[in-house]
Amino acid sequence: MTNVQDQTSGVLRRSGRFFGAQNDLPNRVKTHLFILCPNNSGSTYLERVIAECEQVWSLQREGQHIFGFSGPTSRKTNTSLAWNAKPETAELFSDAANYPSWESTKKAWYFQATAKSPNAVVFLTKSPPFLLIPQILQDNFDNTKFIFMVRNPYAVAEGIGRRRPEMAPDRQSCLKLAADHIVACMKSQRDNIRRYPDNSIFFRYEDMCQSPEETADNIRTLIPELSDLAFDDIITVKNYRQHLHNFNDEQIARLSDSDIACLNQTFQREKSVFEHFGYEIIAS
């Protein structure tokens, strides 16, 4: 990215965006918006779309990976894309004691945030493990809002298995770990939706892809400042520039019968959580 000098204000900007470091975000930000969503479920696209709104301060990376973040991260704990697969790792990310200084985290986030307008009033971030700590976030940030989202578990599992084969000694073990992780995340999300009805909205990845304008309306209802939110832009996601598109069919088609049979060893036992979110068990 290139740095340019704004001709009217003299404020340093990066590619048309203003730096939080040069603005009084502690007094400017009025709403803290967190996207709480399992990894590999479309949250990066959603975050990038919302970050294009005039009233939004956002980060270039997940909040957990910003320099100065005070807490556990999925990279440093070697939990990668399956941080909710085992009780001990879930506890690591759930324990408030493992986040020693939200004030220092807030300063780091504000310092490194950028926005299209220096007068933006909404701060946005996401980190998949934050799915486990909405109450901790609500206790430490003013006017907290949540967007809860889930995605078809088979598509999520394919993404995890493709991107992180080193998580386990073989593919079947990797998919078993992914299945345990996904089910645990869906259960956590079900609880989140029930516990925070007044300051959140929920939709599925599939709903966002099928009905983007309705999804945008729902988000604007939660946060009216996002009046310019639109899903019709080309967004860079993981080094690819793309329009909003449902990749479920392509990803699920990559799963072999043995892959699906492996996943179903876990998924079949959890039909109730599948049914809760409107997903079906695929026959292998």
pLDDT digits (tens, 9 = 90+) for 200-231: 999 999 999 999 999 999 999 999 999 999 99
Strands (E), the chain: 3-5, 12-14, 17-19, 31-36, 56-57, 114-115, 122-126, 144-150, 200-204, 235-237, 240-242
Poorest-confidence range of 121-135, 157-171, 270-284?
157-171
Contacts of 275 (CB under 8 A, 6+ apart): none
Backbone φ and ψ of 235, nearest 5°: -120, 140
Sign of CA dihedral 114, 116, 121, 124: negative
Q: What is the mean pLDDT of the chain?
A: 92
Residues pairing with 19 in the sheet: 114
How far is the C-alpha of 165 from the C-alpha of 111, rounded, in Å? 35
* pLDDT attached to residue 168: 80
The residue-averaged pLDDT of 72-93 equals 92
Backbone φ and ψ of 233, nearest 5°: -95, 160
* pLDDT attached to residue 15: 64
Which two tokens mark 220?
A: 């604007």
Which tens digit of pLDDT belongs to each residue from 186-196?
999 999 999 99
Sign of CA dihedral 15, 75, 188, 274: positive
Q: How far is CA 97 from the centre of its chain?
A: 22
Q: What b/e readout covers 83-93, taking b as 16+ CB neighbours within 10 angstroms? A: bbbeeebbebb
> Is 256 or 14 the better-scoring residue by pLDDT?
256
Which two tokens mark 71?
A: 């807490």
Backbone φ and ψ of 228, nearest 5°: -100, 15
Which tens digit of pLDDT belongs to each residue from 45-70?
999 999 999 999 999 999 999 999 99
Secondary-structure breakdown of the chain: helix, strand, coil percentages, each rounded to the nearest 5: 50, 15, 35
The residue-averaged pLDDT of 21-46 equals 97
Which tens digit of pLDDT belongs to each residue from 166-191?
678 889 999 999 999 999 999 999 99
Q: What H or E segment, with its residue span, contains residue 155?
A: helix 153-163
Q: What one-character-per-residue DSSP string does 205-248 give? A: HHHHHH-HHHHHHHHHHH-TT-TT--S-S-EEETTEEE-----H
- Identify the band that residue 269 occupies on the pLDDT scale cut at 50, 70 and 90: very high
The residue-averaged pLDDT of 30-59 equals 97
Q: Is 118's pLDDT higher than 80?
A: yes
* pLDDT attached to residue 165: 66
Q: How far is CA 261 from the centre of its chain?
A: 28
